[in-house]
């Protein structure tokens, strides 16, 4: 699981230069050496080191350290996210050192009890819609609330941020059942990292069921605390979970702009540039 970019507002906003000046050399080690030691630790242990002193907290929370640590993620053991109704959530570290062996070895199991509901004691099920740099877009479904509460959650650090409800959010029935012909329904949920604002941004994708080929993306900014609507035409999205890679979110759709009769396409959305 990746060591994500600054998740939420860090308690420290010091620049690299100010961090160097304020770095407390507790063990008579240089900051570069401390950084190198931290880079060799698993993410769970790195998070624990944040509690040692303010200097380590500032260093570990710096965007420079987080970016470099994230690059090492490909060399680390993969994590598997497991949510069990009524029994909490587990993040399992799995390694498969022998390529010829079909059996994987479970190295570590991180039990998270209760599931991050902040608190929602009646929440009994957790759905994961998208993963971006180790940050999951999830919803908690309760007995009395079938639509669920959305949040961004980093299982490795335990950080969680609620996704505010947007009034324009709709999940209407087919237009033949009484809705207006331009009514939209939710097809996908996603999140991505905005490199300009250093912020994770959740978004909702809506399409029309009447084949008018209208698509709308509603994306939230934690920095500005507002929702923004991005409208498009000529494409409808399929109700399949999306994949985040290289700064873009990807999901399947259908475009009438390709070929004489249209065709299935892969829709890509740039969270940073909102296109």
pLDDT at 148: 64
**If you average pLDDT over residues 60-84, what whole number do you get?**
65
pLDDT at 202: 92
**Domain check: are 63 and 101 in the same one?**
no
pLDDT at 181: 45
Q: Pick the closest to residue 112 from 61, 157, 57, 49 (CA basis).
A: 157
**Domain check: are 190 and 246 in the same one?**
yes
Helix axes 63-71, 31-39, angle to 10 degrees: 40
pLDDT at 242: 82
**If you average pLDDT over residues 191-195, what whole number do you get?**
87
pLDDT at 237: 83
Q: Is 199 helix (H, G, I), strand (E, B) or coil?
A: strand
**Domain check: are 157 and 235 in the same one?**
no
pLDDT at 21: 43
**Domain check: are 202 and 133 in the same one?**
no
Look at residues 52, 74, 96 and tell me which one is the last residue of a structural domain. 74
In a domain, 8, yes or no: no
**How would you class 17 by CB atoms within 10 Å of its CB: exposed for 0-12, middle for 13-18, buried for 19 or more?**
exposed
Residue 236 binned pLDDT confidence (cut-offs 50, 70, 90)? confident
Residue 111 binned pLDDT confidence (cut-offs 50, 70, 90)? very low
Contact 233, 214 (CB under 8 A): yes
Q: Of 172 and 236, which is predicted with more confidence?
A: 236
Q: Pick the closest to residue 218 from 184, 180, 175, 255 (CA basis).
A: 184
Contact 12, 57 (CB under 8 A): yes
Dist. CA 77–CA 75, nearest whole Å: 7
Task: Give Dmax over CA atoms of the chain in angstroms.
Answer: 73
CB-CB neighbours of 200 under 10 Å: 25
**If you average pLDDT over residues 85-101, what whole number do you get?**
53
**If you average pLDDT over residues 226-234, what whole number do you get?**
87
**Domain check: are 56 and 110 in the same one?**
no
In a domain, 170, yes or no: no
pLDDT at 65: 80
pLDDT at 220: 92
In a domain, 183, yes or no: yes
Report the number of distinct structural domains present in the chain.
Answer: 3
Kindly give the pairing relationship between strand 184-194 and strand 199-208: antiparallel
Dist. CA 204–CA 185, nearest whole Å: 10
Is the pLDDT at 87 greater than 80, yes or no? no
Look at residues 128, 162, 196 and tell me which one is the last residue of a structural domain. 162
Dist. CA 106–CA 91, nearest whole Å: 11
Residues 46-59 have pLDDT tens digits of 878 888 888 888 88
In a domain, 2, yes or no: no
Is the pLDDT at 85 greater than 80, yes or no? no
**Domain check: are 105 and 119 in the same one?**
yes
**Domain check: are 182 and 265 in the same one?**
yes
In a domain, 7, yes or no: no
Residues 124-174 have pLDDT tens digits of 567 788 888 778 888 876 545 555 678 888 766 667 888 887 765 544 444
**Domain check: are 156 and 110 in the same one?**
yes
**Domain check: are 98 and 33 in the same one?**
no
Q: Of 221 and 44, which is predicted with more confidence?
A: 221
Tallying the residues shown for the chain, one arrives at 275
Dist. CA 115–CA 132, nearest whole Å: 19
Residue 219 binned pLDDT confidence (cut-offs 50, 70, 90)? very high
**Domain check: are 42 and 31 in the same one?**
yes
**Domain check: are 83 and 158 in the same one?**
yes
Instruction: End-to-end CA distance of the chain: give it in Å, rounded.
Output: 27
In a domain, 5, yes or no: no
**If you average pLDDT over residues 60-64, what whole number do you get?**
77
- Mean pLDDT rounded to a whole number for the chain: 70
In a domain, 4, yes or no: no
In a domain, 66, yes or no: yes
**Domain check: are 197 and 223 in the same one?**
yes
Cis peptide before 225 (omega within 30 of 0): no
What's the CATH code of the domain at 230?
A: 2.40.128
Residue 203 binned pLDDT confidence (cut-offs 50, 70, 90)? very high
Look at residues 54, 74, 94 and tell me which one is the last residue of a structural domain. 74
Tell me which residue range forms the domain holding 186: 175-270
**If you average pLDDT over residues 211-233, what whole number do you get?**
87
Is the pLDDT at 232 greater than 80, yes or no? yes
């Amino acid at each position: 699981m990746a060591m994500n970019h600054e998740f939420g507002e860090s308690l420290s906003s010091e620049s690299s230069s100010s961090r160097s000046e304020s770095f407390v050399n507790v063990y008579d080690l240089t900051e570069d050496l401390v950084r190198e030691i931290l880079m060799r630790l698993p993410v769970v242990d790195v998070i624990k080191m944040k509690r040692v002193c303010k200097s380590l907290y500032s260093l570990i929370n710096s965007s420079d350290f987080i970016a470099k640590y994230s690059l090492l993620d490909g060399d680390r053991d993969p994590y598997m996210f497991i949510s069990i109704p009524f029994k909490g959530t587990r993040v399992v570290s799995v390694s498969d050192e022998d390529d010829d062996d079909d059996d994987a070895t479970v190295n570590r199991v991180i039990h998270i009890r209760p599931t991050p509901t902040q608190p929602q004691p009646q929440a009994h099920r957790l759905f994961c819609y998208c993963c971006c740099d180790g940050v999951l877009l999830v919803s908690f479904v309760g007995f009395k609330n079938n639509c669920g509460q959305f949040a961004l959650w980093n299982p490795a650090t335990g950080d969680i941020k609620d996704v505010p409800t947007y009034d324009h959010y709709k999940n209407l029935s087919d237009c033949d059942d009484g809705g207006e012909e331009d009514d939209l329904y939710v097809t996908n949920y996603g999140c991505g990292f905005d490199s300009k604002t250093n912020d994770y941004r959740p978004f909702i994708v809506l399409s029309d069921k009447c084949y008018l080929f209208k698509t709308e993306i509603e994306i939230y900014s934690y920095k500005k605390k507002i929702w923004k609507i991005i409208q498009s035409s000529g494409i409808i999205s399929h109700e399949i979970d999306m994949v985040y890679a290289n700064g873009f979110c990807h999901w399947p759709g259908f475009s009438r702009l390709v070929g004489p009769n249209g065709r299935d396409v892969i829709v890509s959305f740039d969270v940073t540039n909102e296109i």
